[in-house]
Amino acid sequence: MWLHAEHSNSTTQTDGVSYAALPFLPHVPMPVNLPAEPIAISDMANLFGVTHRTLHFYEEKKLLSASRVGLMRVYYHRDIRLMALINTCREIGMPIVAIQDLLAELSDVTSQSEANTLLRTALEYRKRELFGAQSTLFRQMQQINALIEGDDDEQMEQEAQPSPGVSLSDLEHHCLTLMAEGYTQIRLARTLQMTPEAVLALEAGIMRKISATNRFQAVAKAVLLGLIAS
């Protein structure tokens, strides 16, 4: 159950941009035994088991913002709701840019059901990413074992050489570089000013050219082939 709280604008001033006023936030686990609001930054950090520096980092990334009562930085229950969402996303390894995209999309939702669906979609995408990363890790472990055993030197040498058939366009190279920086498909579409469908087709073309089965493997092989910097 979400907690709602109001506070006087005469005693509180918000620093920077925050998503705390979003009308609907997805349901995520909340801390128990919430203290009376407003709470100090130390209490906020203790609620989620993070450091003050982590909270400052989220504020720098415009994910969260503190308010002020006099000279003291404080948070309200609505900020705790938002932090619970951020913390949930970070615990599953969701990149900051993906959380920024999620919050931006939540700005446009018109119902609680829509907000919950949006989070579920983001979680499903993250699950696919983790499966892809698992596949990449397994392949890398196999390569390490081959190196240790000395049974696959020739194959590894061939993989380390750029394939003469790999030729990327400027757009494909730019897209691959952004993928290596952790850009999600939604953020790629905004950055490249393309539709999500066009980005999917672009990524598929890149993966086809370098014989990759997913975007994580595409980045790993691109680095191995010297197509992008590590």
Q: What are the residue ranges spanned by the domains of the chain?
A: 19-126, 170-225
pLDDT given for residue 45 in this prediction:
94
pLDDT on residue 164: 53
- Given this model, what pLDDT does residue 15 score? 40
Residues listed for the chain: 230
Q: Which fold has domain 19-126?
A: Multidrug-efflux Transporter Regulator; Chain: A; Domain 2 (1.10.1660)
Which residues 6+ apart lie within 8 Å of 198 measured at CB? 189
Q: Which of 188, 220, 191, 223 is nearest to 203 (CA)?
A: 188
CATH tag for 170-225 (out of 3.40.1010.10, 1.10.240.10, 3.30.70.240, 1.10.10.10): 1.10.10.10
Would you state the pLDDT for residue 128?
Answer: 86
* pLDDT of res. 76: 92
Strand, coil or helix: 105:
helix
Ranges of the chain whose pLDDT falls below 70:
1-20, 150-165, 230
Q: How many CB atoms lie within 10 A of CB 20?
A: 21
Residues 6+ apart with CB under 8 A from 7: 37, 38, 67, 76
Beta bridge partners of 74: 40, 67
pTM (global) more than 0.75? no
Give pLDDT, residue 57.
Answer: 94
Q: Which two tokens stand for residue 89?
A: 């996303």
How many Å apart are CA 130 and CA 137, to the nearest integer? 10
Listing DSSP states for 198-221 in one string gives HHHHHHHHHHHHTT-SSHHHHHHH
Q: What is the pLDDT of residue 120?
A: 94
Q: What local confidence, expressed as pLDDT, does residue 11 receive? A: 32
